Chain A
Amino acid sequence: MVLNEKNMTENQADTNNKKRTILREVVTRLFQDERIKPFVFLVIAIIAAQIISPIFLTLENIRAVLISASPIMLLAIGEALVVLTGMIDLGPEAVLASSGIILASLDIVIGYPTFVSVAVTLLYGMAVGFVTGILIVKARIPSFVVTLGNYWGLRGLAMVLSGGFPISPTIVQPPRPFSFSGIVGSIFGFPIMVIIAIVIGVLLQLYITQFKKGIDIYAVGGNEMAARNCGINVDLTKIFVFVISGLLGALAGIIMAAWVNQAYAWTAQGYTLQTIAAVVLGGIPFTGGYGTVIGVLVGSFVIAMISDIIVLVGISPMYNYIAVAIVLILAGLQVRGAGFTK
């Protein structure tokens, strides 16, 4: 009888140990797998937001957060590819601003057909990315330096082209409204700009996981020397990610111009750092090689949530950057936990 009780107690202890081990493995996986981590962070952020402001989880509010997140999403998708290869892009907000000015100049001031203005603007973004990539791989200037140059230089270009004044449809007579302003509309109640950002994010996620170029990107971030020795065209891969980043920066510029119905050289200030924050929140370490584009979309949403919460609870928007900093450092702790401290 006593023996039976002892066996039962031992069996129960075994079962409890197994349960604890499984629980520990699940928790470890949730907080360490960079593919899952952003979603865990998102759930925590949503719960916290709902506690802080009970109206956070309303359809109208989530819609507003998604709309404000969409330009950041586009920039962050490009940034994600760059950071995956172990480099950084500090120029996305300047590409966005200068693209908006170029688009508005062509579309409103000169009066080119919309498709020409849009095509030229997208080509401009790609050209910026191409030149950036060439300077990095051929002139061997670090990406930090080249894109810091973009940050100032392209903002300066926008200033020069616009004279420092906003370009809106009413600066010409008769007013010439953006013919692509439908981009800020909705399809079945879902904002088109959000659809564009999410579709591009999902397509690029598929591209980097299902196609050879994706392996090249991850390999360059994981071990550039090994990638080179295995015959991967490392230089071309680096140029490719900057071209995509430039293209998405230009697209974000087009969307932003349509959204605010004007182009302004000083638009999107601070977006670069928010973009980088979204990438970190999305689970991509600065050393590259790990993480997903989908995670970065989630990271962008969390960044947009911070501004939204500040507005909802009536705190001064001046606290926005401080809130972003706190969330970013929390996200940094997650990255540290996964061993990406290099």
Chain B
Amino acid sequence: MENQSLVKMKDISKSFGHIKALNKVNLTLAYREIIGLVGDNAAGKSTLLKTLAGVHIMDEGDIFIEGRKVDIKKPIDARKIGIETIYQDFMLAPNLDITKNIFLGRERTGLSFIGKLKKKEMDNEAFKVLDELGFNMPLKTRVVNLSGGQQQTVAIARALLHPPKVILMDEPTASLSVGAIDRFLQLVKGLKEKGCSIIYVSHRLLDVLEVADRIVVLRTGRMVAEKQTSETDIEEIVNFMMGKVVMEK
């Protein structure tokens, strides 16, 4: 099971107008694997991630989850098949409290026709998932009143609410302090231990090398390199990103 690919993206292409953001990109993600997806600006890494997250609809290509072809057209489609995303800006509603953000779009309701909220049940579940992350704040606190690190914890809690198969992380440390980044990287490793597979997009190559099992390099919409982390270093990755080295086929 460990060796079978959990996610397989095959010949993915995506254009915005006349700009080809992705050009026949292939990517596989194994069970309990962390892939570091790197590249310079406009390399296509966020576009690839957002295609899998259902934010962008690909022009060509196929996506397979556990060997089954899936059709992801909206973010909710991705969430339904166990793909959660943590965005750079966390995608939280600042005016809502912690519990409501964790359950956003998936609230526990009774009397399904009118959607009466089961607030107590939601609070209990939110407390449980936050407790596992070592987060201790009153659940009625509005997200606008939380620090960047605390907001990110809420975003992670939302991703973990229904144990996901895959977590996509798009520049997750962009708005964190140095101390918070260290804690976050430990958390990412912990998620892998718990059985999650992760695609980790970041400009911070040291962070990527610390958490990823495998590095995938994109350049101008094409995949230009794929290396086990243990077999590469930061200099080589930068060279791939800049196009100074071409990977042997």
CB within 8 Å of B: which residues of A? Answer: 210-213, 215, 218-219, 221-223, 225-232, 289-290
Contact = CB atoms under 8 A, between A and B. Distances in A.
Interface stretch (B33-41, B93-101, B191-199, B214-222): B93-101
A219 B116 contact: no
A211 B114 contact: yes
A231 B161 CA distance: 15
A181 B119 CA distance: 42
A212 B93 CA distance: 15
B199 to A, nearest CB: 17
Which residue of B94, B105, B109 has the most chain A CB atoms within 10 A of its CB atom?
A: B105
Size bracket of the B interface: 20 to 34
A65 B64 CA distance: 65
A224 to B, nearest CB: 9
Contact of B79 (A210, A211, A231): A231
Given A210-B116, A215-B117, A231 B106 contact: yes
B241 interface: no
A215 B104 CA distance: 8
Contacts of A215: 96, 100, 104, 107, 117
B134 interface: no
Given A212-B107, A218-B96, A231-B106, A226 B91 contact: yes
Contact of B91 (A221, A229, A290): A229
Given A211-B116, A219-B104, A227-B105, 12 more contacts: A210-B119, A212-B116, A215-B100, A219-B100, A222-B94, A222-B96, A223-B93, A225-B91, A230-B76, A231-B74, A231-B76, A289-B95
Given A211-B117, A212-B109, A219-B104, A229 B75 contact: yes
Contacts of B106: 230-231
B85 interface: yes
Nearest to A232: B105
A229 B55 contact: yes
17 contacts: A210-B117, A211-B109, A211-B116, A212-B115, A213-B115, A215-B104, A215-B107, A215-B117, A218-B95, A222-B96, A226-B93, A229-B53, A229-B55, A229-B75, A229-B85, A229-B91, A289-B95
Which residue of B53, B74, B91, B116 has the most chain A CB atoms within 10 A of its CB atom?
A: B91
Interface in B104-125: 104-107, 109, 114-117, 119
B105 A230 contact: yes
B138 to A, nearest CB: 15
B175 to A, nearest CB: 15
Contacts of A290: 95
Contacts, number: 70
Nearest to A225: B91
A218 B100 CA distance: 10
A226 B92 contact: yes
A223 B85 contact: no
A212 B105 CA distance: 9
A106 to B, nearest CB: 31
A213 B96 CA distance: 14
B93 A289 contact: yes
Nearest to A223: B93
Contacts of B117: 210-212, 215
A41 B54 CA distance: 46
Contacts of A218: 93, 95-96, 100
Interface in B62-95: 74-76, 79, 85, 87, 91-95
Which residue of A210, A222, A229 has the most chain B CB atoms within 10 A of its CB atom?
A: A229
The 9 closest A-B pairs by CB, nearest first: A230-B105, A231-B76, A212-B115, A222-B93, A222-B95, A231-B105, A289-B95, A226-B91, A230-B104
A330 B116 CA distance: 37
B140 to A, nearest CB: 12
Contacts of A221: 95
Contacts of A222: 93-96
A226 B87 CA distance: 10
Nearest to A224: B93
A249 B60 CA distance: 48
Nearest to B143: A222
B55 A223 contact: no
Contacts of A225: 91
Contacts of A210: 116-117, 119
Contact of A223 (B75, B91, B115): B91
Contacts of B87: 229
A228 B109 CA distance: 19
A222 B85 CA distance: 19
A212 B79 CA distance: 19
B75 A228 contact: yes
A236 B210 CA distance: 44
A231 B94 contact: no
